[in-house]
């Protein structure tokens, strides 16, 4: 095991058996967290199964065979919180398990909170309720139905749905186009036995990362490493590097009819900039100037001056090298909105960036970085992202690099950005 972590920085403290262990040492919080991540390539064949596994595991383990049993035990741990699920970062799908619990320092000193929380988390992952070499049928059937409802409920959040659909249309022939939770039609073939086999494959072959946060002693760190090193592992799967390069031959226009009161316009761009490129910091500033807040060109010109949008913003998808501009507009204003949006991008490319836009963006990014330090899960996500893209920024170095970005740097990175897809969610066409 390597040296202890520096305050609020993630330090890799051990690596064995296809498992990387990180510690984020901080005395800011009264709680500790343990986060365990399993990584896989995002594929249609496995996306729904990967989403199903944590949903079934959370239902119970050998020691606590029902969700209620787990909840009651969490209450005994001074109201500890546990959760799990899946997400995608670029073209990798990540299965996450985490527990947050009161530090022993605030629970009677020798309360053994860390060990109890560790054992619970490992039990949930390693010792599921099993019947005849399979998961419980009722748990699997119920979670299949829950997942079906979750996937189908995407349409309820129209703004996020339009963003997701734009990305999916952009990347329909790429792994990134797959939804985090898979598709409804992939659920039919899942049963308690083949899902259990998939789960065993996850344990044995998926690369793992473990993040431990809080003020945690060396002995406790060693304890969790020893326990997780007992997992039976085989040949560790290789997770592919996300490809960000794709030439835009022709801008695609996609219109999807739906019963909506307000049109949702999303413009998807290829930034041609990887998150480990030196000019990614300039891209962050570019995004802030373009659509990162009330000071931005999009907010001031599309929403305030032209009164065309109820909301408008731009956002980076750092792991895939994409940018989205999303807005809510009256359906008749689509062409006007597109023209003004693209004209604001042209203004940046011409170097027309005011001191107010530039300074406000740097301040907003700095505030956003500082806010990450107020939540342990956000800190973990920040350093998980660093590990994925193979960068070694911490909160201070990231902020310093942002401050060094000049207006000319922003202009240069803007020249690489190419419009790929225009997606419009609009009211149903009347017959």
What is the DSSP pairing of strand 81-89 with strand 418-426? unpaired
Q: Is residue 239 part of a domain?
A: no
Task: Give the distance, in angstroms, between the CA of residue 327 and the centroid of all CA atoms in the same chain.
Answer: 22
Q: Is residue 237 part of a domain?
A: no
pLDDT confidence of 6, banded at 50, 70, 90? low
Q: Is residue 3 part of a domain?
A: no
Q: Is residue 289 part of a domain?
A: yes
Q: Are residues 200 and 304 both part of a single domain?
A: no
Q: Are residues 265 and 405 both part of a single domain?
A: yes
User: pTM to 2 decimals?
Assistant: 0.94
- The full length of the chain comes to 431
Let me know: does 216 contact 25? Beta carbons within 8 Å. yes
Q: Among 228, 260, 285, where does a domain finish?
A: 228
Q: Among 172, 196, 228, where does a domain finish?
A: 228
Q: Are residues 18 and 149 both part of a single domain?
A: yes
- Which H/E stretch holds residue 358? helix 355-372
Phi, then psi, of 323 in degrees rounded to 5? -135, 140
Q: Are residues 84 and 180 both part of a single domain?
A: yes
pLDDT at 306: 92
Tell me the CATH number at 59.
3.30.830.10
Q: Are residues 51 and 153 both part of a single domain?
A: yes
Q: Is residue 236 part of a domain?
A: no
DSSP line for 227-250: HHTTS---SPPPPPPPP------S
d(CA 212, CA 380): 9
DSSP line for 376-427: HHHHHHHHHHHHHHT----HHHHHHHHHT--HHHHHHHHTT-EEEEEEEEEP
Q: Are residues 215 and 266 both part of a single domain?
A: no
Q: Is residue 216 part of a domain?
A: yes
Q: Are residues 218 and 268 both part of a single domain?
A: no
Q: What is the mean pLDDT of residues 200-205?
A: 97
* Alpha carbon distances (Å) from 405 to 42, 283, 362, 409, 412: 34, 9, 9, 6, 11
Burial of 51 (0-12, 13-18, 19+ CB in 10 A): buried
> Which residues are bridge partners to 135 per DSSP?
130
Residue 397: Cβ within 10 Å count: 12
Q: Is residue 84 part of a domain?
A: yes
Residue-wise pLDDT for 78-123, tens only, equals 999 999 999 999 999 999 999 999 998 888 765 799 999 999 999 9
**Which domain covers residue 55, as residue numbers?**
10-228
d(CA 140, CA 192): 6
Q: What is the mean pLDDT of residues 239-261?
A: 92
Q: Are residues 256 and 190 both part of a single domain?
A: no
Q: Say if residue 2's pLDDT is above 50.
A: no
Q: What is the mean pLDDT of residues 137-157?
A: 97
Q: Are residues 40 and 158 both part of a single domain?
A: yes
- Summary count for the chain: helices (H), strands (E): 14, 11
Q: Is residue 4 part of a domain?
A: no
pLDDT confidence of 369, banded at 50, 70, 90? very high
Apex 54 CA angle, 52 and 57, nearest 5: 105
Q: Are residues 135 and 278 both part of a single domain?
A: no
Q: Are residues 90 and 188 both part of a single domain?
A: yes
The domain tally of the chain equals 2
Q: Are residues 209 and 328 both part of a single domain?
A: no
């Amino acid at each position: 095991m390597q040296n202890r972590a520096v305050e609020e920085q993630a330090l890799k403290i051990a690596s064995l058996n296809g498992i990387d262990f990180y510690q984020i040492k901080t005395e800011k919080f009264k709680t500790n967290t343990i986060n365990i991540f399993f990584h896989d390539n995002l594929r249609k064949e496995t996306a729904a199964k990967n989403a199903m596994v944590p949903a079934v595991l959370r239902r119970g383990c050998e020691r606590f065979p029902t969700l209620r049993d787990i909840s009651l035990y969490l209450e005994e741990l001074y109201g500890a919180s546990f959760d799990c699920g899946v997400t995608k970062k670029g073209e990798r799908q990540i299965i996450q398990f985490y527990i947050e619990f009161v530090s022993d320092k605030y629970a009677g000193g020798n309360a053994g909170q860390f060990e109890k929380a560790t054992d619970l988390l490992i039990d949930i992952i390693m010792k599921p309720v099993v019947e005849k070499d399979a998961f419980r049928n009722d748990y699997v059937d119920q979670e299949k139905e829950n997942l079906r409802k979750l996937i189908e409920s995407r349409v309820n959040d129209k703004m996020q749905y339009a963003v997701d659909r734009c990305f999916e249309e952009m990347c329909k022939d790429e792994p990134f186009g797959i939804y985090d939770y898979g598709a409804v039609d992939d659920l039919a073939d899942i049963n308690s036995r083949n899902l259990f086999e998939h789960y065993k494959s996850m344990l044995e072959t998926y690369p793992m990362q473990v993040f431990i946060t809080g003020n945690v002693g060396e002995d406790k760190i060693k304890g969790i490493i020893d326990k997780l090193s007992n997992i039976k592992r085989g040949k560790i799967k290789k997770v592919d590097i996300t490809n960000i390069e794709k030439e835009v031959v022709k801008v695609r226009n996609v219109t999807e009819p739906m019963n909506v009161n307000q049109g949702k316009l999303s413009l998807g761009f290829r930034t041609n900039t990887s998150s480990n490129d030196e000019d990614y910091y300039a891209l962050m500033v570019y995004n802030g100037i373009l659509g990162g807040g009330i000071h931005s060109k999009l907010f001031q010109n599309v929403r305030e001056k032209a009164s065309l949008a109820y909301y408008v913003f731009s956002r980076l998808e750092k792991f895939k090298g994409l940018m989205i501009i999303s807005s809510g507009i009256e359906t008749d204003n689509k062409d006007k909105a597109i023209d003004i949006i693209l004209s604001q991008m042209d203004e940046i490319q011409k170097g027309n960036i005011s001191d107010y836009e530039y300074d406000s963006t740097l301040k907003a990014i700095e505030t956003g970085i500082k806010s990450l330090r107020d939540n342990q899960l956000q800190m973990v996500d920040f350093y998980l992202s660093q590990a994925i893209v193979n960068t070694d920024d911490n909160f201070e170095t990231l902020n310093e690099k942002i401050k060094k970005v000049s207006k000319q740097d922003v202009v240069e990175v803007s020249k690489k950005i190419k419009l790929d897809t225009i997606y419009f969610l609009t009211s149903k066409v009347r017959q």
